[in-house]
Amino acid sequence: MSGFGRILDRAAIGLSSLCLVHCLAPPMLLLLLPVASLGLVLPEAFHIWMLSAAIPVSILALRSGHRHHRQRLPMLGAATGLGLLGFGALFIANSRIELVITVAGAICLAGAHVWNARLAARKVPN
């Protein structure tokens, strides 16, 4: 895998991690510091911004990795993760299940990129 492909996988993992922090930190802080919740409100559009960043970075990283390892399963995992993130951001925003769906999507997406990067690192370019 090219250096650029590795950078893209790392960026995608970072975006997924940022999503996890965004999803999990506020509830944890709310449990610990109820007064702090007033300053932690982000606009709902944040989810759309994150999804808009995650989609092209994921596509580029996965395509770069696929050129080296020729396996489609990381793409399936990433598509599942992006689908869950999109579903959470676009269709069930502000519902009780949104947190579960978006956390599962972020974990699935990050896992797919870790898998993609490991497969690409193992294979010798054609």
Per-residue pLDDT of 59-118, as tens digits, reads 999 999 999 899 999 999 999 999 999 999 889 877 779 888 988 999 999 999 999 999
Choice between 88 and 33, residue whose per-residue pLDDT is larger: 88
Q: Is the pLDDT of residue 42 over 60?
A: yes
pTM over 0.85: no
Give me the percent of the chain exceeding a pLDDT of 90: 42
The mean pLDDT value of the chain amounts to 84
Q: Is the pLDDT of residue 126 over 90?
A: no
Query: At 37, is the pLDDT very low, low, confident or very high (cuts 50, 70, 90)?
Result: very low
pLDDT of residue 96: 78
Sign of torsion, CA 100 73 91 37?
Answer: positive
pLDDT of residue 2: 73
d(C-alpha 84, C-alpha 87), whole Å: 5
Choice between 33 and 61, residue whose per-residue pLDDT is larger: 61
CB 48 within 8 A of CB 87: no
Q: In sequence order, what are the residues at sequence separation of 6 or more whose Cβ sits closer than 8 angstroms to the Cβ of residue 41?
A: none
d(C-alpha 2, C-alpha 64), whole Å: 7
Q: Which of 28-37, 40-49, 74-83, 94-103 has the lowest mean pLDDT?
A: 28-37
Total residues found in the chain within this entry:
126
CB 123 within 8 A of CB 68: yes
Quote the crossing angle between the two packed helices 73-90 and 3-32, to the nearest 10°. 40
Q: Using alpha carbons only, what angle is made at residue 89 by residues 14 and 22, rounded to the nearest 5 degrees?
A: 40
